[in-house]
Structure 1
Amino acid sequence: MAAVSPTGTLSGRRALVTGATRGIGRAIAEALAASGAHVIVTGRDEARARDVANALEASGASGADYLAADLEDDDAVGELIPRVQADFGPLDILVNNAGIDADNPLISHPLEDWRRIMKVNLEVPFRLGQAVAPQFIEKGAGVIINIASILGLSPTMDAAAYVPAKHGLIGLTRQMALEWAGSGVRVNAIAPGLIQTDMTSGVWGTPAGDAYVQHKIPAGRIGQPQDIGALAAFLASDAASFIHGETIVVDGGGLLS
């Protein structure tokens, strides 16, 4: 297969990115748009989703739309894919990026927080993938990218629900790939390490955080959202056509230390 240039590799394709109003989700939306995709931005805050979509179009994207979706609401999750298809047309790419966390040790983790984290981080990708799969299978093509975490491969303290949810998401990715690869649907996951986002603001930018980066990340720097966006754009493209069921770690070598 000939080498594929990143620019324009996703032209004519429509992508839905959940949790796309900031951080990793926004960087993924930007990377997909830069590669030519028409991106639909979702998030809880409609105004923020609109602002990101407008910024994508201002940067030269071929098209961008937005809609609000609270993924902790069962009805909103069930309606999301039908809404997108009705309002914007059939999808080619689904990125399950939205996620939440609540730090607690296992012995005292509130059941309510456990259920919330499991719902958003694992059940929602299952439901959205299940909802979009028939359309992908019918046309014999489609891409699902699940944003997992290195904590889906190695546990840490005080993440009693987040760690199992991300382990489960990696398992879900493999199961989706196994069942749907023969129908032309590619499913893969990305496992970010420490990335500079609002969600990790308690770690980076402090003396302790800087020391952690220098001693625990061989690359010697914290990851940036664009590091994840670039990989997502590759996985969504035809250049990744023979990659199925993989979880690609993006952590600056952190799991090696």
Structure 2
Amino acid sequence: MSRTYLVTGAASGIGAATAELLTSQGHTVIGADLRGSDIDADLTTAEGRKHLVERARELSGGRLDGVIANAGISAPIAATVKVNFFGAVATLEGLRPLLLESEAPRAVVTASMASLQPADEELLQALLDGDEDAAVARGTALEESGPQAGYLNYSTSKQAVARWVRLNAPTSDWAGAGIPLNAIAPGVVISAMTEQLTSTPEGRAQLEEQVPMPLNGWMPAESAAELLSWLTSPANTHLCGQVIFIDGGVDAVFRKDTTW
């Protein structure tokens, strides 16, 4: 059965691979990105988020079967929290009414194994409180402190969106409405986003130390796409609020048996 999907971050990386896979399966895919997609929208702004929702409603005819909130950036800047957290949440919340029109609605957001890395507690609290002004102010302070502190914008935003999924998935808005809401947490994906990190021997060595992936090493975007395709398919009937680490073993290396 053909379904209609909205995929953000569809112009490259995991988003592009997912859009291509879903299309090859006979589904209709509405891609969204900063530029070069069916919907060009800047998720750092309230206007861009509103435009995404409005155009998605127009292009879908008012019904979506799956939403994949994949758009994200990894730069050590305050804009990262705008896209990775507030943009993702606005996408999911804004498109939820369109999902309610589907007989088998599904939603997924792309988090990251970086959610296991150190987070800035002040920024994390502002994100979980939904206070964008406070989050951007703290993110800007981190950005101005240099790239090492600035990176906390990325890891903190990914932890926050994973926690948002855990908190919201079992509620009446999502599970109660028959919408499985989950997240994936990829390890290092071979893409334009990681090209600079993997282009030198020194960079590769540093990345391998920081993100140990004992199973098959760095992964192609297509691996994440396969998981996203299943999570947003009718076959997924009972996964609720799960953050699935598709990371070659990073989670197991870092947390060992502490999942219990």
- TM-score norm. by structure 2 comes to 0.77
CA contact (8 A) 1:17 1:42 kept: yes
Gaps of 5+ in 2: 120-147, 254-260
CA contact (8 A) 2:187 2:213 kept: no
2:17 is matched with: 27
* C-alpha distance after superposition, 1:168-220 (max 9, x if no partner): 10011122311110211110101011111111112224223444576622124
1:92 is matched with: 65
Aligned length: 219
Identity of aligned residues (%): 32
Change (3 A) 1:98 1:190: same
Structure-2 separation of matches of 1:76 and 1:209: 34
CA contact (8 A) 2:41 2:51 kept: no
Q: What secondary structure does 2:109 align onto?
A: strand
Q: What secondary structure does 1:226 align onto?
A: helix
Q: Aligned Cα RMSD in Å?
A: 2.0
Shift of 1:69: 1.4
Structure-2 separation of matches of 1:135 and 1:201: 36
1:107 is matched with: none
Structure-2 separation of matches of 1:75 and 1:186: 28
| Mapping for residues 60-71 of structure 1, pairs under 5 Å | 66-71=38-43
Structure-1 separation of matches of 2:117 and 2:208: 20
1:60 is matched with: none
Q: What secondary structure does 1:188 align onto?
A: strand
| Mapping for residues 246-257 of structure 1, pairs under 5 Å | 246-257=242-253
Structure-1 separation of matches of 2:34 and 2:102: 30
| Mapping for residues 168-179 of structure 1, pairs under 5 Å | 168-179=160-171
1:190 is matched with: 184
CA contact (8 A) 2:14 2:225 kept: yes
Shift of 1:138: 5.4
* C-alpha distance after superposition, 1:133-167 (max 9, x if no partner): 23333556411110000011233864211111111
Structure-1 separation of matches of 2:56 and 2:152: 34
